[in-house]
Amino acid sequence: MSGLVSRSALIPTWRAVAHRLGQVAVDVTLVTVAYWLAYQLRFDFSVPGRFEETFAATLGVVIGLKLIVFTGARFYTKWWRFTSVRDLQAIVLAAIASSLLVTAVLSSWLPGDVEVVPRGVLMIDLVLTLTLVGGARFVVRSLVERPPRGQLAKPGREVLICGAGNAGNLLLREMKRNRALGYTPVGLIDDDPRKRRLRVQGTRVRGTRADLPRILREVHVDEVMIAMPSAPGRARQEVVNACRDAGVRCTTLPGLPELITGEVTVGQLRPVRVEDVLGRAPVDIDFPRVSRYLNGSVVLVTGAGGSIGRELCRQVAAVGPRMLVMVDHSENNLFEIDLELRERGHAGLIVPVIADCRDAALIRGVFEAHRPEVVFHAAAYKHVPMMEQNPVQAVANNALATVVLADEAQRMGVSRFCLISTDKAVEPKTVMGASKALAERVVQARGGGERTRFAAVRFGNVLGSSGSVLPIFKRQIAEGGPLTVTHPEMTRFFMTIPESVQLVIGATGIAEGGDIFVLDMGQPVRILDLAHKMIELSGKVPGDDVPIEIVGIRPGEKLHEELFNVDEEVTPTRYGRVMRATRPALPADGLTAGLDELTRRVAVGRPELVAQALWATLRSGRVAAAEGESLQGWQTDVTEEAPPT
């Protein structure tokens, strides 16, 4: 059995070697022809005898030197059928370098007593080498991309590509190279007037986005593909509206954040989602640069099975850490992200750990066992109404668990610690918001210790996260409605999961200590408008096919969310989409005493006492120890002011 396995495993290797030897043999032939033809052209096909001797004596040297340069340029690690413009640049450089090397060698040394190689021969040889070696590769690619004769009469789905830039060009190339995909491009549209009526890989640019309704009337199109990763949602919405009016299917490439670690392919096309048409400009960030601090590091992510935690794990794993420790108390959620990353080829670096972040002894063991250098603390309870009914768990998981993680990070000398926060921590009106605000205060109080830089990153609603409005609306649409909206004027800030995580990683990299970073969420979106767009994207009519019901604002819910507290000073950072919010820290004594009292009350488990101590701790600046007031006094003081629980 082992012998069979070994023999079968060698087959691809021998095929690869044979393929490379074949490429070398062709190049040897082309270099020989180029060098011979250079002599013929230099002497008008009447080469003197003495130069024929020079040709014969130096041919081996020329071939050897050029093959050395070609090998160094990695010519024989690539398939000619996939030759690209970048490969052409490499061919030009290699041809020039090899000719310069040949000139240098033959100018200082000649085999035997032969004539010096004429300079004209060397110049012509350079041009011919470039033409033959480069041309051969592009001829092979052209022949491979040319569809078989039988397929010319079998067009696939006729598609129109929106966007004649890099992404559209790559889609077009893949469709023409692989006819098995079943697509026949019938045109492109692009808003650049210079491209009007031009042809891209033989396919005509038929107009701009404004011409799309007319084009869909005049040309038979089965599907419109949006290939504009950097386009704002408004532009995508216009394309979707035109396709819906014409009854044509519309698909799209993901936005820049989703494409940041991969190349554009037809397989990435998907139906248009509501996050694609929200109208906000997508994040354009140099992710490889901002994430360099993660490369080769041990990274720990809490809440790794949640929506934000999963995307953090995906993006961190793609950067190349030495180890990725994934902590979550949910077995199923942790199993899913663990399986996903293993299937992506990251099995050697991931360590799944089932643990509750409130368990100080267990967390200490995790830190001592793996010694993380960067910590992303994403574990939290986030549903506002649920936490209003369970304030003990909200405080324990959101605030006190942050203390546990921060203590261990400081003790173990972690380089960077980032808390994932929320806009509900701004001027909080609910227990959930107050618990996250207290977690921010804990991070702010730690500041930039001797070895650990603490930071919190605050942003609004994340599109598509578990329990968010999008999954709820999708379920309600599937059930025929109604879609429940709390208030017709209610607005929220929205951001996609990939772009929010990219900005979290970028912000953590510039943390100086005790920073509160706020992500630019763009303009707030009306929930009612979001409901309309989701119904329309499902192919239905709002109000007619799917009713919308206004159910009223829930206790503690804000009509409009905010991103900054009234006492915060906002300054820009070197990343345009990340701002730094600075405010006076809570008195250290008051914060410490409040956290101690919260710990005691959580252990007792009485919700009303926990909620009272929570609000009192956030206002601990008004109850300084010098006034001689006890925590019992805090409870009495805040009973009338605390929001209902």
Band of residue 16 on the pLDDT scale cut at 50, 70, 90: low
Shared domain for 310 and 333, answered yes or no, is: yes
The pLDDT of residue 144: 62
Summarize the confidence of residues 206-216 as an average pLDDT: 90
Q: What is the CA radius of gyration of the chain?
A: 32
Question: Which domain-ending residue is among 145, 170, 191?
Answer: 145
SS3 245: helix
The whole-number average pLDDT for the span 180-188 is 85
d(CA 620, CA 633): 12
Does the annotation count 474 as an active-site position? Answer: no
Give yes or no: residues 447 and 549 share one domain. Answer: yes
Is residue 287 situated within a structural domain? Answer: no
Using one digit for the tens of pLDDT, what is the confidence trace for 550-590? 998 877 678 888 888 888 888 888 877 788 998 888 988 88
Residue 284 inside a domain? The answer is no
Same structural domain, 248 and 313: no
What's residue 259's pLDDT?
Answer: 55
For 511-537, the pLDDT digits (tens) are: 888 889 988 777 788 889 888 888 888
In a domain, 384, yes or no: yes
Strands 374-377 and 298-302 come out as parallel
In a domain, 244, yes or no: yes
Residues 459 and 549 in one domain: yes
Final residue belonging to a domain, choices 145, 168, 196: 145
Instruction: Provide the pLDDT for residue 480.
Output: 87
Q: What are 28-68's pLDDT values in tens digits?
A: 999 999 999 999 999 999 889 888 888 988 999 999 999 99
Q: What is the largest CA-CA distance in the chain?
A: 112
Q: State the residue for tokens 């107009």.
A: 207
Residue 265 has what pLDDT?
60
Q: Kindly state whether residues 226 and 333 are assigned to the same domain.
A: no
Q: Are residues 188 and 79 in the same domain?
A: no
User: What is the tens place of the pLDDT at every residue in 399-443?
Assistant: 999 999 999 999 999 999 999 999 899 999 899 999 999 999 999
d(CA 221, CA 165): 20
Domain count, the chain: 4
Same domain, 164 and 123: no
Residue 202 sits in the same domain as residue 242: yes
C-alpha dist (Å) from residue 429 to 281, 559, 615, 642: 30, 12, 10, 9
Residue 409, in any domain of the structure: yes
* Phi, psi for 178 (deg, rounded to 5): -120, 90
pLDDT of residue 160: 92
54 in a structural domain = yes
Q: Is residue 343 part of a domain?
A: yes
Q: pTM of the prediction?
A: 0.65
Q: Looking at residues 303-310, what average pLDDT do you find?
A: 93
Using pLDDT thresholds of 50, 70 and 90, give the confidence band for residue 257: low
Which of the four pLDDT bands, split at 50, 70 and 90, describes residue 626? very low
**pLDDT for 162 beyond 80:** yes
Domain that holds residue 600: 588-638
Do residues 497 and 619 share a domain? no
Can you read off the two tokens belonging to residue 146? 């040319």
pLDDT digits (tens, 9 = 90+) for 221-238: 999 998 887 777 788 888
**Of the residues 77, 110, 145, the one at which a domain ends:** 145
Q: Are residues 322 and 457 in the same domain?
A: yes
Marked catalytic residue, from 66, 382, 424, 558 = 424
Q: Tell me the range of 346-350, 362-366, 447-451 where mean pLDDT is highest.
A: 362-366
- 80 and 162 co-located in one domain: no
Whether the predicted pLDDT of 547 surpasses 80: yes
What is the bridge-based pairing of β-strands 569-572 and 548-550? unpaired
What is the domain-level CATH number for residue 228?
Answer: 3.40.50.720
Query: With 70 as the cut, is the pLDDT of residue 463 above it?
Result: yes
pLDDT band at residue 152 under the 50/70/90 scheme: very low
**Domain contains 220:** yes
329 & 399 share domain = yes
**Mean of pLDDT over the chain:** 83
The amino acid present at 515, given as its one-letter code, is: D
Condensed to tens digits (0 to 9), the pLDDT of residues 280-297 reads 665 666 777 778 899 999
**What is the per-residue pLDDT across 322-342, written as a single tens digit (0 to 9) for each?**
999 999 999 999 999 999 999
Residues 337 and 412: beta-carbon distance below 8 Å? no
pLDDT in tens, 496-516: 888 888 889 988 988 888 889
